[in-house]
Structure 1
């Protein structure tokens, strides 16, 4: 058996007790997992204690493999070890050390692993697996630096719509490891840890706002999944208006309203604006999406006399888990990537990790209210976006799709979602002191894809 060894060290300004406690929290495994290696069906029994067990399914291309492990040694708050008991590795032993030092904590990781099939497995996959694990350690280091670089914020109870959506998938682990408690809004009564609502019928659990510090509204009919029939457009608009209006009315009626209401919106608010650099002060544009976002925000702002309101004008959120990048990735991986027309349209994107960090930042930054652009500070024109993605994947990007063909196939949705030029800039976020982990696409894509 050929053993490989990886070591990492990071210094954090918190005590070993607090860093160890963070690792023991619910969803810490998910928070530390990069989007290209996000496990599914994570189950943890007995927590981070000696003899505790973990089971999950880990991704392997389009498939997933079962992985089971346990904690044979835990000595809080200075050490724990996890080992694989069943899974794809011939051997896996990961030791975590938390050393006190003058600055706080020196955290050390030591991973020892071996691949199956001995020298044959090592010859064919050894370096590739080692590179993947190095990328995983890079991701974990970034997360720990961002999440534990300062004292943890005051815990909040957060009522959340859209808790099964793409943004929430990454956001919930980031909130729970920070000590917050999330309460999903669901359409089924009686589910433990949730609260029922049905905005279409105007009904919900009594006291839906009881004990709530913040409301995070991410729900709404998906925009980019189907062509826009009149019925689809009606659902897109009504799901946003009805849901937002219902929550605003509940906030107004609450005996103790939440301190903040964060409602999703989108850069579709601005419409097609060619090369103009767009700030939060710019007016709304033309088209269906602009009208939806404008009405959506107007509904949310009705709560501003009762609590702080933030409208998230979200750009193109990038993650291999879904959305634009998940659709582009297979095509570009096969060398079939390219641009629409001449590729001059501006793409205001944001890495999902920065989107999550920005929402968490806004929860506690009381000086920020109103519309906020959630976009990276370095948008790209479509041709540059395609070239950067192709370069990361080491593939060509010579395909060109005529705009007329796209509009013929996808109609109004293709024109507004895929062909609009929107050059939004995060003026408010930067002015408030938010620092992007991935300000440019070249640094973001390797972390998002595990490639490059």
Structure 2
């Protein structure tokens, strides 16, 4: 396939490009700077500027563009940037597809499990309703922008949780684990939806050639609690799992970001992916952590 990528320079985007190339797909990347290679094309989401002919060329579009949620704390300006960066990028892509004479067959747009909010005791498939909180409103608006793609384009919304890879949500936890300071966060019993970096990219590629549309949960088939995930990280670096961080300290230090990123309980189930035949390489959090340490050591 010919695949147009937005937000392809980050951790997920880099893995995605490698897997797309290995599978024989041809990619073009949208960049906000001057292009430095034949596969790069400039766009400006803030100005809703992108060349329509790129969408005539593409069979599929994958959108990973958006300001990082890891910029803490969430000040008012940070919250505005989190929302506006997603709406501008996604809206620009949807508008570009509508202007194309021959729009792409599929649009895989990044989304997040934040849609579900804090849902203790609930099994969250793609049929679960919207929760409450800042992230739920962001994801709701983000997905609405993606649905403005032309009717001829299938839209898959990739609701992703914690990606186990070099960077992302694990970036601040790994140094603590290596220093022997890892422990339960807020009690550690809340479920964290997670997926390995390899499986995240593989699932995005799967969605290009699938018939799935609407929200699709990108989460591993074996759920893990925050405690299990951090403990697996500590074990992978051969350090103790001992030092707890109480809930009140997380809320005091990080406020909304702490409550919604670290303390929310979300048992997310990849019902659609499993039903569509997708096979996870890293089914358990220990598998993902062990493989992450192998990659870092290589």
Do these two structures clear the TM 0.5 threshold for a shared fold by scoring above it? yes
Q: 1:427 aligns with which of 238, 247, 271?
A: 271
Greater RCO between the two (CA within 8 Å, min separation 6)?
2
Q: Give the Cα separation in 2 of the matches to 1:172 and 1:429.
A: 21
Offset from partner CA, 1:49-75 (integer Å, 9 cap, x none)? xxxxxxxxxxxxxxxxxxxxxxxxxxx
CA distance in 2, matches of 1:205, 1:342: 49
Q: Conserved in 2, the CA contact under 8 Å of 1:261 and 1:307?
A: yes
**Of 375, 386, 403, the match for 2:219:** 375
The answer as to whether partners of 1:213 and 1:260 remain within 8 angstroms in 2 is yes
* Residues 250-287 of structure 1, C-alpha deviations (whole Å, 9 max, x = no match): 11121100010010000001011012110001111100
Range moving further from structure 2, 382-391 or 172-181: 382-391
Cα distance in structure 2, aligned partners of 1:345 and 1:414: 13
1:388-422 per-position Cα deviation (integer Å, ceiling 9, x unaligned): 33233332111111221122222211111111111
Note the alpha carbon deviations across 1:323-357, whole angstroms, 9 max, x for none. Answer: 12232222112211001232111111101011111
Task: Say whether residues 1:273 and 2:273 are aligned partners.
Answer: no
- Using the alignment, how far apart are the partners of 1:341 and 1:400 within structure 2? 8
- Residue 282 of structure 1 pairs with residue 128 of structure 2: yes
Sort the Cα spacing of 1:398 and 1:190 in 2 relative to 1 into closer, same or farther, 3 A. closer
In terms of fraction of residues, the more helix-rich structure is 2
Q: Tell me, what secondary structure is at the counterpart of 1:353?
A: helix
Matches within 5 A, 1:183-262: 183-189=28-34, 191=36, 192-205=38-51, 207-262=53-108
Q: d(CA) in 2 for partners of 1:433 and 1:332?
A: 35
Write out aligned runs for 1:72-221 (5 A). 156-189=1-34, 191=36, 192-205=38-51, 207-221=53-67
* Kept in 2: contact 1:338–1:398 (CA 8 A): yes
State the secondary structure of the residue aligned to 2:148: helix
Higher-Rg structure is 1
1:410 maps to which residue?
254
Structure 2 alignment gaps of length 5 or more: none
1:293-304 equivalent positions in 2, closer than 5 A: 293-303=139-149
Relative to the length of structure 2, the TM-score reads 0.94
In structure 1, the residue matched to 2:172 is 327
8 Å CA contact 2:15–2:201 kept in 1: the answer is: yes
Within 2, Cα distance between the matches of 1:190 and 1:375? 34
Q: 2: CA distance between counterparts of 1:265 and 1:408?
A: 27
What's the CA shift string for 1:353-402, capped at 9, x where partnerless?
1111111111111x211110000011111222233332333321111112
CA distance in 2, matches of 1:208, 1:222: 26
1:195-229 per-residue CA deviation (whole Å, 9 max, x = no partner) reads 22112112223523131111111001111122111
Match of 1:445 among 279, 289, 293: 289
- Where do 4+ consecutive residues of structure 1 move more than 6 Å? none
Match of 1:308 in 2: 154
Per-residue Cα deviation, 1:175-203 (whole angstroms, up to 9, x for no partner):
01211111111123554322221121122
Does the 8 Å contact 1:348/1:424 carry over to 2?
Answer: yes
Distance 2:109 2:51 in 1: 21
Gaps (5+ residues) in structure 1? 1-155
Q: Secondary structure at the match of 2:177?
A: helix
Contact 1:275 1:346 in 2 (8 A): no
User: Secondary structure of 2:283's match?
Assistant: coil
What root-mean-square deviation, in Å, do the aligned CA atoms of Structure 1 and Structure 2 show?
A: 1.7
DSSP-derived class of the 1:394 partner: coil
1:316–1:349 Cα contact (<8 Å) kept: yes
Cα distance between partner residues in 2 of 1:325 and 1:413: 15
SS at structure 2 position matched to 1:160? strand
Partner of 2:185: 340
Tell me the secondary structure at the aligned position of residue 15 of structure 2. Answer: helix
Q: Is the 8 A contact 1:251 1:306 kept in 2?
A: no
Deviations 1:278-300 (A, max 9, x none): 00011111000010001111111
